[in-house]
Amino acid sequence: MLASGFLNPANNSNGPAFGLWVALPSGGALVELPAATIPTARIQAIHNSADAAASEVDVYLNGALLVDDFAFRTATPFVDVQAGVDLTLSIAPATSTSVADAIANFNYNLPADETFILVANGIVSASGYNPATPFDIYVYQGAREAAQGAGTDVLVFHGCTDAPTVDVFESAVVSTTIVNDLSYGEFDGYLELPTLDFTLQVQTADGTTTVASYAAPLQTLGLQGAALTVLASGFLNPANNSNGPAFGLWVALASGGTLVELPIATSVSEQGAIASATAWPNPANDRLTLDVDALRDANLEADLIDATGRSSRLLSSTALNTGRTQLNVDLSGLANGSYTLVLRSNGGAVNLPVVIAR
């Protein structure tokens, strides 16, 4: 058996590629051994450790440098790694010269043809952070690199070390709790959402107190067909955590790179042109009448969202004049059930519950 050819044909006059060939006792043309398929898995790494001592780290895989100077709030793209073998992922300071400088090691043996997200999170410092939740890597199996449907698939991770268990309430479109009782270090399964602009309220676990509200403009950012990860990141109380980065929601895209910060949501009363709106009759049959009181001239867009959060009917843009405007909405052809009518104007939104019953 002979090793034959070139590992890099381009550097060798485009000669024959490397391979293993067998010479038989009878002589004649050598027999090429077919290449074996190496099983692989896909991984994406996300750096969400807000400890200043881990602001940049080096990542080694089985002793070889995988990511140099991996910065807080950045992500790698999805990459192939060999499956079915023992892998050691090592985390070292950004000043490391080899894997011998590693401060933490994590061992994996990944199944073939699976996709994973690995989130580096927690505290490495011996003091200066309260609580000092230890550094760890949190693994999600079944990750997605693209949406499975026509919308946007969203995975949520709780990575704020000093935040309690939380809910996430969506207030602009579906007006319901979309993440319930998520604790530190936990992932919530993928939300398969329509590609609309949402408002996410982070609430205490009992749903009585809103900690902060964030805009999630999936439609504005053109994220139809994308799969992404939203991470709770930073500290609720930076003063107790070495004045580290403040709490926020940040998005990791499948393509990797710097995480995208979700902006603080501005309330409807600050933005919108709609002072009030009513819908009648409710329950409705095939037609719904809207009475809209506008604070100023504006354009109105309306979207009827079903109980699963999917858009059932997008209504044509309509001009509103200052004061009262009455509009008719055609409901024919829609199934009986509960809906949310989302009225948008000048960046604000008003949600009206609508029931269709025939």
pLDDT of 192-205, one tens digit each? Answer: 999 998 989 999 99
Confidence band of 268 (pLDDT split at 50, 70, 90): very low
Greatest Cα-to-Cα distance within the chain, rounded to the nearest angstrom: 97
Q: Is the pLDDT of residue 97 over 60?
A: yes
Instruction: Kindly list the structural domains of the chain, giving each domain's residue range(s) and its CATH number in brackets, ordered by start.
Output: 2-32 (no CATH), 40-261 (no CATH), 272-356 (2.60.40.1930)
Q: Is the pLDDT of residue 115 over 50?
A: yes
Can you read off the two tokens belonging to residue 221?
């950012």
Comparing CA positions, the residue from 158, 169, 176 lying closest to residue 209 is 169
Q: Looking at mean pLDDT, say which of 11-15, 172-176, 280-284, 313-317 comes out highest.
A: 11-15
Angle at the Cα of 174 (from 173 to 176), degrees rounded to 5? 135
Q: How far apart are CA 252 and CA 74, in angstroms?
A: 8
CA distances for 3 relative to 24, 38, 182, angstroms: 15, 19, 55
For the residues 262-280, what does the mean pLDDT come to?
A: 71
CA distances for 54 relative to 44, 50, 71, 333, angstroms: 18, 7, 8, 56
pTM exceeding 0.75:
no
Residue 114 buriedness (CB in 10 A; 0-12 / 13-18 / 19+): middle
Q: Is the pLDDT of residue 118 over 70?
A: yes
Per-residue confidence (pLDDT) for residue 351, from 0 to 100: 77
Average pLDDT, the chain: 91
Q: Please, how many CA atoms are within 13 Å of residue 209, restricted to the half-sphere of its CB?
A: 6
Q: How far apart are CA 335 and CA 147, in angstroms?
A: 26
Q: Is the pLDDT of residue 269 over 80?
A: no
Can you read off the two tokens belonging to residue 75?
């992500």
For the residues 80-106, what does the mean pLDDT come to?
A: 97
CB-based contact 166:182 (threshold 8 Å): yes
Residue 177 buriedness (CB in 10 A; 0-12 / 13-18 / 19+): middle
Q: Is the pLDDT of residue 266 over 70?
A: no
Alpha helices in the chain (DSSP H): 268-271
